[in-house]
Amino acid sequence: MGTLQSKREKRLHETSEVTDTEIEYIDSMIQLKNQHSNRVTALHQQASNILDSWLSQGNWQHANDSVYLKSLSITHIINVTDKVLLNQSQQILHIPGKDSFSVDLLKSFHATNEFLDQCHQQGGRALVHCHRGVSRSSTIVIAYLMHYNKWTVLQAYDYLLARRPEASPNLALLLQLARYEKKLTKGNDEN
């Protein structure tokens, strides 16, 4: 077992009750990320198109640029930061949280999935963002892809990495996604 893996396992064990099976699954997600890592050259200057031009993922700058949002015809925004978006004409769902091991997004997946489902049904366009567009927003997008396409976390993460190579949820968020998959497998999309 490598030193990096040992440090990851120790950190996860310290912050939450985690099983060996969950650790193995998280390691699979990290290996998947590593397979895509050679594609990351720089963070996207533009939001990434994730689903059929109606779902995009970006960062704080994208969400605060009204001209840019208008050019993408964005009607809905999921803001996964501790900051509040001001003066926006879009419908906004704010999920407060910092990029840390203590942020719990699992409890928000049902609300974010419903928000995105409504956006899609209304023919709208959504932007999911966090500060850098790397960890928290990726977690929300992966959870939605799992819900929308009935995918495993590995399938959803692989799909996202092909469209946004810098996507990289932190270890605690990877654990939350693994646990969300268990809920979906049991037929329970509620949080």
**Sheet with 76-79, side-by-side order of all strands:** 48-51, 55-58, 126-129, 76-79, 91-94
Give pTM, 2 decimals: 0.84
119 is catalytic: no
Neighbours of 174 (CB within 10 A): 26
Kind plus residue range of the DSSP H or E element containing 50: strand 48-51
Please give the pLDDT value at position 5. 55
CATH of 42-185, one of 3.90.190.10, 3.40.190.10, 3.30.70.1450, 3.10.450.50: 3.90.190.10
The residue extents of the domains of the chain are 42-185
Asked if the model's pLDDT at residue 16 lies above 80, the reply is no
Asked if the model's pLDDT at residue 3 lies above 80, the reply is no
- Which pLDDT tens digit goes with each residue over 78-131? 999 999 988 678 999 999 987 777 789 999 999 999 999 999 999 999 999 999
- Which pLDDT tens digit goes with each residue over 151-163? 999 999 999 999 9
Q: Which residue among 78, 103, 130, 178 is the active-site one?
A: 130
Higher pLDDT, 80 or 44: 80
Q: Return the SS3 of 14.
A: helix
Scored b (16 or more CB within 10 A) or e, 84-101 reads: eeeeeebbebebebebee
Averaged pLDDT, 42-53: 82
Higher pLDDT, 40 or 12: 12
Distance CA 23, CA 186 (A): 20
Please give the pLDDT value at position 1. 42
Asked if the model's pLDDT at residue 168 lies above 60, the reply is yes
- Residue 123 exposure: Cα atoms within 13 Å on the Cβ side: 0
Q: What is the mean pLDDT of the chain?
A: 88
Higher pLDDT, 126 or 17: 126
pLDDT category of residue 35 using cuts at 50, 70 and 90: confident
